A and B are shown apart, each in its own frame.
Chain A
Amino acid sequence: MLKIDNVTKSFGGLMAVNDVSFQLDDTGITGLVGPNGSGKTTLFHLITGFYKLDRGQIHFKDKRISGLAPHVISRMGLVRTFQQTRVLPFLSALENLMAASPGQTGERLSSVFFQPGRVKLEENNNRERAMQILGLLKLKSLDQHLAGRLSFGQQKLLELGRVLMARPKMILLDEPTAGINPTLIRQLVDVIRKLARKGIQVFLIEHNMPLVAEICEKVFVMDSGSLIFSGTPSETRQNPRVIEAYLGREDYGA
């Protein structure tokens, strides 16, 4: 589904992502872990077209996506969230979701004026679908609230909902559970699992290792820009290189 070949990106002298290659098949939920600054978010930016890569190629569903603009990649069904939550603060929760609907006729100027019937019909369908998603996220009662006024956790949920609204084939989640309370984490995990069951591939960056072990079928580990390990969560936790990356080498220790 997603194939990454020899991807390299440096900022000045800093090698952010160094010759990374891997392939994601139909594995349901995949995790990407590694210490801070190991290049995980940069890799997400590269996959989704927000950064241009220095070397290498990325393919999604056998089509080359490296070099394409972010909105083109998104339209192919590869949709992401951001590490810093980015809801649209002055739009209502409902509008946040409706805006994410893909391929809206009403976004064309000519259709706004010359096909009002079709636009209205689409809007009604999108509103209905957005309300269903709000229901799934348990945010239905907040549909008219400004997204900027929601709690941090609710914003995270809304962001996930927005990705869903875009009818993705694969979603990239950058630290979906960072900074939210345990109850909301459970709710979020339920939603992520539901998506995976529906056949949407999930690829997520996460620091919460027990959570990764719980939901991911496969884990990739990065350190200092390189991919150092891939395997099941239990293999990952026992691998000496992974332990070293997180905790440092014993002979350097105090």
Chain B
Amino acid sequence: MDYLLHIFIVSLIYAIFAMSLNLELGFTGLYNFGHVAFFGIGAYTSALLSLAGHPVTLGMVCSMIVSGGMGALLAIPALRLTGDYFGIATLSFGEITRLFFLNERWLTKGPMGLPGIPRPTWIGEGVAGLPWFLIFCMLLTLVVFILTRHLTRSPFGRALKVVREDEYVAQALGKNALSFKIRAVTVGSILAGLAGSLWAHYISYISPADFTLTETILVLLCVVLGGRGTNWGPILGAFVIIFFQEIIRFLPIPADFDRFVAPIQGMVYGAVLIILMLKRPEGLLQEYKE
């Protein structure tokens, strides 16, 4: 039962993370391969502040501010690049951020990571707090869902789609395509920071190894599988992927085969991503009606 609660909590955190990427990938057409960086920045910001004795709520708010700020700082130069080049720039930003977590020991304790990150006091530590943490995550997922849905259905969201469909048309219609893309990445980074902060407070221990390219691929898969450019898609995708990942643990795998599981999992994700892109690029839920 507690294990099921755990899966639900992780799925919800990934749902928020996926919704944040969906704003960029699904609605604006930006392939951000370094999105995990903002998840990580959010996690570290919140962890460091709460470990220094500040309230968790303050940590969560600050993680959103710092992630959003970093998102804007990355977006302003990186979005002058288009298409694949933007992908490469974000990919390297993700790696730079991980190396920062790994090497700036005075701040992040390096590879040792940060243990003992507290949960909000009203939730409580340990297994007893799980149901309350689940409710907390559900509330935040709901808020993020409502906000992103409101945003993507507004003229702002429509303008993002115009930029996605054809940047030249956007410009010809008087829209500053660069500005829309920067704002999309900033909002996406703020929400990724929130997801990262939730992750840190839930899992209570973070280290640089938690924020690698694998996590970016995982969240990318959540968005693409679920249906990019839809409001429900990332949530559905996150639940499918996280449940799949956890179910693997119960497969009767011989002990000496164990070490192959993680790499094979990575290969399966890669293959699923490629097959999806080729055979059903719209994902499980489709953005537009026929």
Contacts and interface: CB of A to CB of B under 8 A. Distances in A.
Interface of A: 48, 50, 69-72, 74-75, 79-82, 86, 88-92, 95, 98-102, 104-109, 112-113, 119, 122-123, 144, 146, 162, 166
Contacts of B180: 107
Contacts of B254: none
B172 A109 contact: no
Contacts of A109: 151, 156, 183, 187
Interface in B127-171: 147, 150-151, 154-156, 158-159, 161-162, 165-166, 168-171
Contact of A102 (B174, B176, B177): B174
B188 to A, nearest CB: 12
A107 B165 contact: no
A123 B173 contact: no
Interface residues of B, number: 30
Given A71-B177, A75-B174, A106-B154, A99 B183 contact: no
Nearest to A95: B158
Nearest to B175: A71
Contacts of B159: 99, 104, 107
Given A71-B177, A88-B169, A98 B287 contact: no
A70 B171 contact: yes
A86 B166 contact: yes
A119 B166 CA distance: 24
B177 A107 contact: no
B155 A119 contact: yes
A79 B172 contact: yes
A99 B154 contact: no
A71 B178 CA distance: 10
In this complex, which of A50, A107, A119, A146 has the most chain B Cβ atoms within 10 angstroms of its Cβ?
A107
Interface string B72-102: 0000000000000000000000000000000
B122 interface: no
Contact of B156 (A72, A100, A112): A112
A98 B158 contact: yes
B171 A69 contact: yes
Given A79-B173, A119-B155, A91 B168 contact: no
B250 interface: no
A21 B215 CA distance: 57
A122 B155 CA distance: 10
Interface in B275-290: 287-290
Given A107-B156, A119-B155, A50 B162 contact: no
Given A90-B287, A95-B158, A98-B158, A107 B166 contact: no
Given A90-B161, A90-B288, A113-B150, A166 B173 contact: yes
Given A99-B159, A112-B154, A119-B154, A91 B171 contact: no
28 contacts: A70-B171, A71-B174, A71-B177, A72-B174, A79-B172, A79-B173, A82-B172, A86-B168, A86-B169, A90-B165, A90-B229, A90-B288, A91-B161, A95-B161, A99-B161, A99-B162, A107-B156, A107-B175, A109-B156, A109-B183, A112-B150, A112-B154, A119-B154, A122-B155, A123-B155, A144-B289, A146-B288, A162-B173
A54 B175 CA distance: 25
Given A82-B168, A90-B287, A112-B150, A71 B176 contact: yes
**4 closest cross-chain pairs (CB), A and B:** A106-B155, A74-B174, A88-B165, A70-B171
Contacts of B289: 144
Given A95-B158, A99-B158, A106-B156, A50 B173 contact: no
B172 A89 contact: no
A92 B165 CA distance: 12
Given A99-B161, A100-B173, 6 more contacts: A80-B172, A81-B172, A82-B172, A88-B161, A90-B165, A102-B174
Nearest to B183: A109
Contacts of B174: 71-72, 74-75, 79, 102, 166
Contacts of B172: 48, 70-71, 74, 79-82
Contacts of A108: 156
